Amino acid sequence: HGNTDDTRAMWLAANTQYRPFSVIVLVDPLEQAALAAQMPWVAGMKMIDDKATAYVCRGFVCNAPSTDPKVFL
């Protein structure tokens, strides 16, 4: 999933601005269970319509997931 156009667009949007206090994690659905063992909060994060999906979280609260790269602007 990391090589798809929608994933690349999401990744570029997330990394367009300087975000010194942000953590951006690319979660491959095939590796999600292994990642969730170390980062349990990713276990429930799912793709919408099999598209790259962003979960933007602040202060332990996440906004609704989005497939629109503009969520980072």
Predicted local distance difference test score (pLDDT) of residue 1: 57
CB 54 within 8 A of CB 6: no
Mean pLDDT of 42-53: 94
pLDDT of residue 3: 72
Close Cβ partners of 43 (under 8 Å, ≥ 6 residues apart)? 32, 33, 36
Residue located via tokens 């292994």: 34
Q: What are 23's two structure tokens? A: 């953590």
Mean pLDDT of 24-42: 94
